[in-house]
Structure 1
Amino acid sequence: MTQTPLTDRTALNKNRQRALCAPVLFLHEIAAAEVEDRLSVVNKSFTAPAVVTGFPQFWHSRMPEAHIVSDDEVLTLDPGAHDLVVHALCLHWANDPVGQLIQARRALRPDGLLLVALFGGATLSELRSALAQAEAEISGGLSPRVLPMAEIRDLGGLMQRAGLTLPVADTLPLTTSYANPMALMRELRGMGESNAMSARRKTLSRRNVLLRACDIYAQAFGTADGRIPATFEMIFLTGWAPDASQPQPLRPGSASARLADALGAVERPLKD
């Protein structure tokens, strides 16, 4: 049986094209600054970078020397052509995230670096909760409205499954503020992050559901000044293409010194 993909790529591309009319790219600005910070502490110069992104104009402006490719299901990256691949705030839309990572790893030279920025599971938690409660109250059920996103505890394992070594995952929680939930939804359209799930409702949302969601959002999460917060969890993953020069784990039983000696401790055998 053929499984329906999570993301409707046609709808996603339409959302991104619409966003270019009045783009809201402050989260990409933050991601780009974080990428630059992380690269600045790597003791290595990169001469053949590539960037995978849904917003090529922005990332070309930040990394003009990089080869920019779309986050299509099949990445247009040549095997072994790059010493750095940045997957920039689009892996959360991938129907096959491990496949995307494998393709990026294959594009790396030995000891090349993959750096991924994506949204994590806490993103838009307030909006998700308000929409779910409103729809349950009014429609008696739920429809997919906010993309499910991965938790950081699962993402390091994805890097290893993709064949990358020395994987590291860390998170940057961000809280933004809006006049009301409708202002947040308008800004999501400007980000190109509107609902593009294959299982979404294909008709316009009922006005009473949206109005009720706005009320719930404001009541549950509103601040004293009448505004509402919105959480964006940005997760960063790094991993390296395997190379013989990298640190290797020791073979079990190959240690030449005892931990007790190094700590100056008295070793006592356990009783049977």
Structure 2
Amino acid sequence: MTAPRLFDPTLVQRHLARRRASGSFVFDLVVEDLADRLGTLVREFPRAAIIGPDLELLPETGATASHPIRFERYAAFAGDDEVPDMAEGTYNLIVSLLHLQAVNDVPGYLARLRSKLEPDGLLMVATIGGESLTELREAFLSADAMVLGGAAARVAPMLQVREAGSLLQRAGLALPVADVETHVVRYSTPFALMAELKALGAANPLADRPRRLATATLLIAAANAYQAHDADPDGRVRATLEIVWLAGWVPHESQQKPLKPGSATTRLADILKQP
């Protein structure tokens, strides 16, 4: 089956090309978190790759608790194919940063990255989570209803952490782990948030987006709704940012495996009876 086309990759590339040249605090948060996560592993990754929308901002090196890492860097959204041109079955570690949230075929993307890994190789993915920008989404829903009499697709759907584990298993990865980091960012006005999203190349990437530009009336209505529901006493507005992390290993005989059903030697009832 062909995955539904939610995102317009050509539009994403145009947005990224127009963005400002500096980095972003979101990307900085993710890179810092990646370093912390790799630092908990006592493992060597002789051949590692990292994928992200800002090639020049991707780290060239990293480290586990025991060994240094040198990354081969690949640009996301660099062509029509959602997965960069990488050799099959040759990597020990692949990291994807802030790419998955604009991928149309998420299970296929994960499965294809898995195919680039050797047995016992590790895939790590950071993506924008489903509760991100809920305040902006609700503000535009309210504004669309007021100004246009109906809703329009303006904020992209994003991955929920509860879905992540099953996606990793579907891609054929073992020992799947998914967790979420939640941040609340404050802006002087809703317009400051909208300007930041545009500057980061994160404007509406949906294929089914409204074809007409948002009018000043609509933007003002959305800003007023945002201010009414999500402003702090000092007048600044809150924006929720979720980063979902996924990790899974290519199966290998050395990995821990769950016990077979019925193989337990102690009854749970006996344990619960102990004082």
Indicate conservation of the 8 Å contact 2:60/2:73, yes or no.
Answer: no
TM-score w.r.t. the length of structure 1 is: 0.91
Say whether 1:16 aligns with 2:16.
yes
**Structure 2 residue 211 is the aligned partner of structure 1 residue 202:** yes
Distance 1:25 1:174 in 2: 15
Q: Is the 8 A contact 1:133 1:213 kept in 2?
A: yes
8 Å Cα contact 1:56/1:68 also seen in 2: yes
Count of aligned pairs: 264
In structure 2, what is the Cα distance between the partners aligned to 1:84 and 1:149?
25
Which ranges of structure 2 fall in alignment gaps of 5 or more residues?
63-68
Counterpart residue type for residue 230 of structure 1: A
Corresponding residue of 1:269: none
- For residues 4 and 178 of structure 2, what CA distance do their matches in structure 1 show? 29
Report the counterpart of residue 58 of structure 2 in structure 1.
Answer: 59
**Residue 61 of structure 1: CA displacement?**
5.1
CA 1:31–1:264: 2 relative to 1, 3 Å: closer
Equivalence for 1:172 = 181
Give the letter aligned to residue 30 of structure 1: L
- What residue ranges of structure 1 are gaps of 5+ in the alignment? 267-272
Q: Is the 8 A contact 2:132 2:241 kept in 1?
A: yes
Where in structure 2 are the equivalents of 1:123-202 lying within 5 Å?
123-202=132-211
- Could you say what secondary structure the match of 2:132 adopts? coil
Residue of structure 1 in register with 2:41 after alignment: 42
SS in 1 for 2:70: coil
CA contact (8 A) 2:94 2:124 kept: yes
Q: Does 1:265 align with 2:273?
A: yes
Q: Quote the Cα distance in structure 1 between the aligned partners of 2:225 and 2:272.
A: 60
Aligned residue for 2:273, secondary structure, equals coil
Stretch of structure 1 that moved more, 180-189 or 67-76: 67-76
Question: How do 1:68-107 residues align onto structure 2 when only pairs under 5 Å count?
Answer: 68-71=73-76, 72-107=81-116
Q: Quick one: distance in 1 between partners of 2:128 and 2:152?
A: 21
Aligned to 2:65: none
Secondary structure of 1:57's match? helix
Q: Answer yes or no: is 1:226 the counterpart of 2:231.
A: no
* Greater Cα offset, 133-142 or 3-12: 3-12
User: Aligned match of 1:121 in 124, 130, 134?
Assistant: 130
Using the TM superposition, give the Cα deviation of residue 69 of structure 1 relative to its aligned residue in structure 2, in angstroms: 1.8
CA contact (8 A) 1:75 1:100 kept: no
CA–CA separation in structure 1 for the residues paired with 2:174 and 2:41: 15
Q: Which residue type is aligned with residue 163 of structure 1?
A: G
Deviation at 1:67, TM superposition (A): 1.4
